[in-house]
Structure formats: C-alpha cells, structure tokens
A = this chain, B = another copy of it.
Amino acid sequence: MTTRESIRPGGRSARVQASVHKAVRGLLSTMDRSDVTIPLIATEAGVTPSTIYRRWGDLPELLADVAVERLRPDAPPRDTGSARTDLTQWAEQYADEMASGIGRAMIRDVLASVGADTGNAGKCCSYTREQVQSIAERARDRGEEFPDVETVIDKLVAPIMYRILFDDVPPTSEKVLSLVESLLPERR
C-alpha cells in the first residue's frame, strides 16, 4: 500500500503527503525528470529524505503515486445531449491529455511502479471505465443504443493508449473520430 491516509492512530501523514506531492509536481514542471531526486523533493517539501523512503520506498513509486492522483478525473464527462457527442468529446480530450508530454510521463510512471505497488495501473483503468460507464448510463437513460463498456475499452481506449505508448505518433483527431464512429450505430 502506498498511501495510508491515517489507518489507526498517529498521523500528520496527510500533511506530509500533501507537501511531498506538491513538491513533486512543482519540481516536475520546473526541471528535467532525470534531475529530480528524493533528497531534492525532501528539501522542497520540508521533510527528511528518510521519511520519503520509508513511506514510498523509492522514486518510481512516489512518482506513480503522484501520477495516479493527477490522472484521476475531477468530474464525469460533460453531458452534451447525445452519446455520440459525449463520447467524441471525452475521447478527444482523453487522447490529448494522455498524448501530451506530461500525460505520457504520468502513464509511464504509473506503469513503471507495477510490481512493487500493484494496483496503480488498475486504478487508472478504473477511472477510465467509470468515465465511460457514466456516458453509457446517460445513453441508456436517453434510450440511445450504446456499446458495452468493455467494448469501448477494446475498440477506443486501447488503440489510443497503444499508439501513445508504443508508436511515437499520437492518434490524430481524425483517427479518434473514426474509432468513435466505428463503435456507434450508423449516423442517420
């Protein structure tokens, strides 16, 4: 487990966690990530390095912890009135965010920590599922046809992510559009 807010007693945990996370975000936006070290983060956050080592283990785990938090959507996808536009807009934004330099770095941080701290990648996956799920539910409420969430993952999310991670070419807007269209019933 990475972040244990405050399990039983004792715990200025939350404060330390907040300042460390903040320090990481700040440093990451300022300097090259290969220059970011735990002693540096500790100084910036006003804590001792050993505190960070004991709580997070190592830099990859800390970075992953910060990344999953930043990757968590702050709101459900915008309701645009129809499943087609909901999904289109969400997918475009998802692709843009993930394909950006910072987005890609966060994904890699998350993936790099799997093994040590299982579950980070799973969380990201859940966030995405939840977002798609809420689009799907709205579609259902409107009486629209909408594919299964897992189908959306397979045919839309997975291709976007694969190309971001492995190809150096992020998916173009047209590409994303065509993936979305392939999921939905014929436009009338």
A residues sitting closer than 8 Å to B (CB atoms) are 33-34, 60, 104-105, 108, 111-112, 114-116, 118, 121-122, 124-125, 153-155, 157-159, 161-163, 165-168, 179
Q: A159-B154, A162-B153, A162-B158 are in contact. Are A108 and B114 (CB under 8 A)?
A: yes
Chain B residue contacts of A112, Cβ below 8 A: 60, 108, 111-112
Which has the most chain B C-beta neighbours within 10 Å: A104, A105, A108, A159? A159
| Residues of chain B contacted by A121 (CB below 8 angstroms) | 165-166, 168
Closest 9 CB pairs of A and B: A158-B162, A125-B166, A154-B159, A158-B158, A112-B112, A158-B159, A121-B166, A125-B167, A111-B111
**A160 CA to B40 CA in the complex, in Å?**
39
CA distance A116 to B108 in the complex (A): 12
The number of times this chain is found in the oligomer is: 2
Q: Say whether A115 contacts B122, CB under 8 Å.
A: no
17 contacts between A and B (CB under 8 A): A33-B115, A34-B116, A104-B114, A111-B111, A121-B165, A122-B166, A124-B166, A125-B167, A153-B159, A154-B155, A155-B155, A155-B159, A157-B162, A158-B159, A158-B163, A159-B159, A162-B162
- Among A34, A157, A158, max chain B CB count under 10 A is at A158
